Structure 1
Amino acid sequence: MNNLEYNNKNIESLLKEIASLKEELYEANSIVDAIKQGDVDALVVNNNGVPQLYSLETADYTFRLLIEKFGQGALSIAKNGLVLYCNDYFAKLVGLPSEKIIGNYLYEYFENPENFTALIEALKYGVTTHEIVFKTQNEKHVFPAYIALTDFEPSVQGIGIVITDLTEKKKHEKALIDHQKELEEKIHELNRINSNLEEFIHVISHDLKEPLRKIVMHNTKIDGSYLSEMDAKSMNVMKLSALRLNSLVDDLVRYSSHTAQEERMEINLAQVIAEVKEDLEIIITDRNATIEIGKLPLIKASRVQMRQLFSNLISNAIKYSKKEIPPFIQISQIENFKSEISNQSTKFVKIQIKDNGIGMEQNHLIKIFTIFQRLHAKTEYSGNGIGLAICKKIMENHSGNITVESELNNGTTFNLFFPIV
């Protein structure tokens, strides 16, 4: 091969390479021009100091993949409702493949197709969210959904839609409503039962008290001088039993009466306790009891129930006093106390009733507020075991609490917590 032929081949190879480079340059210039004109989105990434240009066709694929995997229905539609695109999630919701949905009209999947016009009209006024009921391939099955519309104009002719299935949410709401209705029915039934119970107790108390009154009355008319010692003792037992039963009926009526909320007013506790002392004057004098009243607050409460509360606690302190030591009872407000009521956000005032009586063992403290619970034999101390149960109920009626501290042979302290209203 001579030099001329060799040079011609080199020239031909160079020309081909130049033509290839021109073609690549033309393509690159076309992409750059398209990017400049906004026809193609692009991303420039600096890789080790070398700028690299990426068309966002790859990013568009990522975006489409995200929409496909979206946990909500996603569609794009024309203004007339023609479905241009829908993701797999929406296709599963209506029970059809996406290719069968695209090209149909969105309102064909509405339970009420006429709702579509209202959605488009509302979009003009900025109202973009609604609740719509969709139907599925099985037209008997429908599901509620939250639908959000976004108008793509002027950038693109069309509307974007996101659909959230509300089936589970509606189930929970229905379950909550049903549960609330059930609770209301139970409360209504409970109130009815309580009302019937109160009525029953009052009727029974009347029916019991009348024969008891006659037993006591006729018992006192019997001349004991004609009875033997044994018969006279038996008659006395009958009389005492009748009186005790009469007292028990009265206590039961009082206990039942404290189930209701009475009108509350601002009352002076010192004045209430002064009235209680007058009521208990005989036993206070008989036992030579001293009641020391310290600083006491004004509280919002039922006056009747407060008299019952302090009457029970004071008479209880006198009843369970030591035989050789006169009862000494201190009643006062405790300042800057640490609350004994767990998990409470309400502020309370604390009233303390402290005595020097016989006290109680620690294992008895949890029992004393239980109705009919007695810690001593009837022959030792009188009572029906209802007084402290009434105290607990009164404090509950006032959204408060009652606690007790005691030590055997070393007195008892009751703590009353009243919410600050």
Structure 2
Amino acid sequence: MKDKDKNIDTLLAEIAALKEELFESNSIVNAIKQGDVDALVVHNNGVPQLYSLETADYTYRLLIEKFRQGALSISRDGLILYCNDYFSKLTGISSEMIIGTYLNEYFDNPAQFVQLIEAMKYGITTHEILLKSESGTKTFPAYIALTDLEPAVEAIGIVITDLTEKKKHEGALIQHQSELEEKITELNRINRNLKEFIHVISHDLKEPLRKIVMHSERIQGNNLTETDAKSMSVMKLSALRLNSLIDDLVQYSSHTAQLERTEVDLNSVISEVVDDLEISITDKNAQIKMSKLPVIQASRVQMRQLFANLITNAIKYSKADTPPLIQIYQDDNINTDIPIQNTKFVKIKIKDNGIGMESGHLLKIFTIFQRLHAKNEYSGNGIGLAICKKIMENHSGTITVESTPNEGTTFNLYFPIL
């Protein structure tokens, strides 16, 4: 009987405890419903779990404290109610010393605070300002954003971003731009001087050379000794060679600019070049084979100069006992030797059966005045291929070369498809 009464007492105690827990739970639920307590109910596999938002508030405060921007709350008259550690670091003053002071005390221009508050009425909430740091000994640029927290709280939220590094980068960029403009101005000045220099070369120097050649021919007509006649002949040839060099220099300088591009039929251009070179082609018994070539966007004048130089080069450096054979065709295999892989190109090949050249010479031939042979072997001033390279650069393309001694040379022209 006693055991039975004991069990009843235990059960009654457990029921009372459960009623107390239920009462507490109901009180919490009612408080949540009435808005007296903030909470979050999460359903996990059908089982509701209750979380107080006190934890979320702590996380929010921790986030604000770790924020890499200054965060404050102020009254409408600027009294600082709260500031995070980052704002304290910006000003060089502890947060305990900051709270209870007024925000305008940290402005380089304290009167600017009133302007910021007034601007909020018109929806303007962001500004660039100067703030003081280290007890007012220094200033730094900052970006300030204001948020009115009413009616929830009678306060204004402030976020301040330090713009010191940004301003440094902007200053460096302005400095670089200024230096670039100065260099462009200097480059334009150099170009003007170069044009004047070219004018002197092409006009003022050629006139005395013409007179040297003319008078040397007159003197050669007189009764000269064999030695004097030979000296006059050397003088005349030197003057003619210098005249040719001047023409080549002027021609090279004329290809520095990118002329206006139009649709150019390369078949038509090369046919015109072949007509112009008829005498040298006939003298060498040269044969030129050309397959169907594309129409490209280019300068017609520069295309004529390009192919004239390459065909002339192939005829000049032909074998003494073998007539030149020059083949010009479009090559669809452009997977190799392309300078810019993400650009589409048209590839034109100019192949000859001439004397060729050693691999060590391939990088030199596009350099101005570079000659691989003695003057008494082949004529020219070593400018033709340099002009070809410049023309291809003007067209955003490139030129490469392949060659085998005693077998021939192949030039590859890459024209970007615009």
Same fold (TM over 0.5): yes
Secondary structure (helix, strand or coil) at the match of 2:303 reads: helix
> Deviations along 1:280-305, whole A, 9 cap, x unmatched?
11111111111122112222222222
Corresponding residue number in structure 1 for 2:5: none
Kept in 1: contact 2:334–2:345 (CA 8 A): no
Seen in structure 2, the aligned counterparts of structure 1 residues 35 and 105 have a Cα distance that, compared at 3 Å, is same
Establish whether residue 352 from structure 1 lines up as the match of residue 349 from structure 2: yes
Separation in structure 2 between the aligned mates of residue 344 and residue 180 of structure 1, nearest angstrom = 31
Corresponding residue number in structure 2 for 1:235: 232
Secondary structure (helix, strand or coil) at the match of 1:322 reads: coil
1:184 to 177, 181, 186: 181
Establish whether residue 100 from structure 1 lines up as the match of residue 97 from structure 2: yes
Corresponding residue number in structure 2 for 1:331: 328
Separation in structure 2 between the aligned mates of residue 53 and residue 270 of structure 1, nearest angstrom = 84
Q: Which amino acid aligns with 1:418?
A: F
Seen in structure 2, the aligned counterparts of structure 1 residues 340 and 219 have a Cα distance that, compared at 3 Å, is same
Establish whether residue 295 from structure 1 lines up as the match of residue 285 from structure 2: no
Establish whether residue 385 from structure 1 lines up as the match of residue 364 from structure 2: no
Corresponding residue number in structure 2 for 1:366: 363
Corresponding residue number in structure 2 for 1:255: 252
Separation in structure 2 between the aligned mates of residue 383 and residue 52 of structure 1, nearest angstrom = 93
Q: Could you tell me the percent identity over the aligned residues?
A: 75
> Deviations along 1:266-287, whole A, 9 cap, x unmatched?
2222222222122211111111
Corresponding residue number in structure 2 for 1:167: 164
Separation in structure 2 between the aligned mates of residue 287 and residue 52 of structure 1, nearest angstrom = 99
Unpaired runs of 5+ residues, structure 2, are 1-18
| Aligned ranges 1:5-404 → 2 under 5 Å | 34-35=31-32, 37-41=34-38, 57=54, 60-117=57-114, 119-120=116-117, 123=120, 128-139=125-136, 141-223=138-220, 226-338=223-335, 340-404=337-401
Separation in structure 1 between the aligned mates of residue 401 and residue 139 of structure 2, nearest angstrom = 61
Seen in structure 2, the aligned counterparts of structure 1 residues 31 and 80 have a Cα distance that, compared at 3 Å, is farther
Kept in 2: contact 1:224–1:232 (CA 8 A): no
Q: Which amino acid aligns with 2:387?
A: I
Shift of 1:118: 5.2
Kept in 1: contact 2:220–2:229 (CA 8 A): no
Seen in structure 2, the aligned counterparts of structure 1 residues 162 and 222 have a Cα distance that, compared at 3 Å, is same
Separation in structure 2 between the aligned mates of residue 79 and residue 205 of structure 1, nearest angstrom = 79
Secondary structure (helix, strand or coil) at the match of 1:222 reads: helix
Seen in structure 2, the aligned counterparts of structure 1 residues 266 and 52 have a Cα distance that, compared at 3 Å, is closer
Shift of 1:254: 0.9
Kept in 2: contact 1:268–1:299 (CA 8 A): yes
Seen in structure 2, the aligned counterparts of structure 1 residues 347 and 113 have a Cα distance that, compared at 3 Å, is farther
Shift of 1:185: 1.4
RMSD of aligned alpha carbons:
3.2
Separation in structure 2 between the aligned mates of residue 52 and residue 274 of structure 1, nearest angstrom = 88
Kept in 2: contact 1:295–1:333 (CA 8 A): yes
Once the two structures are overlaid, the 10-residue window that deviates more, 102-111 or 23-32, is 23-32
Unpaired runs of 5+ residues, structure 1, are 1-21
Once the two structures are overlaid, the 10-residue window that deviates more, 275-284 or 357-366, is 275-284
Establish whether residue 406 from structure 1 lines up as the match of residue 403 from structure 2: yes
Corresponding residue number in structure 2 for 1:420: 417
Separation in structure 2 between the aligned mates of residue 197 and residue 295 of structure 1, nearest angstrom = 40
Once the two structures are overlaid, the 10-residue window that deviates more, 223-232 or 347-356, is 223-232
Once the two structures are overlaid, the 10-residue window that deviates more, 22-31 or 304-313, is 22-31
Separation in structure 1 between the aligned mates of residue 48 and residue 376 of structure 2, nearest angstrom = 104
Separation in structure 2 between the aligned mates of residue 210 and residue 104 of structure 1, nearest angstrom = 87
Shift of 1:324: 0.7
Separation in structure 2 between the aligned mates of residue 101 and residue 118 of structure 1, nearest angstrom = 22
How many residue pairs get aligned? The number is 401
Kept in 2: contact 1:131–1:144 (CA 8 A): yes
Shift of 1:308: 1.4
